Amino acid sequence: MRNARLYMLYAVLLIIQMVLANFLDVTSYLIISFLPAIIVCLPTRYHTVPVMVAAFVLGFVVDFFSGSLLGLSSIALVPVALTRRLFLRLSFGRDYFERREDIVSDRGGMYRTGLCILLETVLFLTVYVSVDAAGMQTAGFNFLRILASTAVGMVTAQFVMRIFASVESEAKWK
């Protein structure tokens, strides 16, 4: 039952990300994406290769249905999935992997969870902006775009983490 709720939550968040990409395109200088937070919130029992495949498919689906460059989100999400275990170990320590716990902000703490998502978001946006700009923008412009998008991405990621924490705590009490 808990897994069904989590998969449903992943599907709803994917749809929300596609709607944001389609209809809330405020400016081309700002990227609103919480895809790295979704990758970080995948259960720790999944190893790197399945998470990389899921990241590729997730990015491809978002690009396909949002009308952006096909493969752009995939190319930026795969390194996030590749470094996920490293950043989780840096933020949370080895005990989360030994106990096979899921990463939620209530148990992990807001600062540790925020650090992990910040690292993953910066990596995602650096690859995304670098590939999207393709040498056509200055480094200063790309840096400002990454900085502004990271700030917005962290705010949206905190909402995602709160949703996962509420689903996890609800499943705990049933």
Give the H or E element holding residue 114. helix 110-133
Q: Specify the pLDDT at position 162.
A: 78
Residue 66 CA: distances (Å) to CA of 24, 37, 81, 139: 11, 19, 21, 27
Q: Specify the pLDDT at position 50.
A: 94
- The number of domains in the chain is 1
Q: Are 96 and 44 spatial neighbours (Cβ–Cβ below 8 Å)?
A: yes
Q: Are 63 and 46 spatial neighbours (Cβ–Cβ below 8 Å)?
A: no
Q: Specify the pLDDT at position 1.
A: 46
Structural domain boundaries enclosing 26 = 2-173
What are the pLDDT tens digits along the chain (174 aa)?
Answer: 467 777 788 888 888 888 887 777 666 678 888 889 888 888 888 889 999 999 999 999 988 888 778 888 999 999 999 999 888 888 877 776 666 666 654 556 677 788 888 999 999 999 999 998 877 888 888 898 999 999 988 888 888 887 877 776 665 545
SS3 160: helix
Q: Specify the pLDDT at position 119.
A: 92
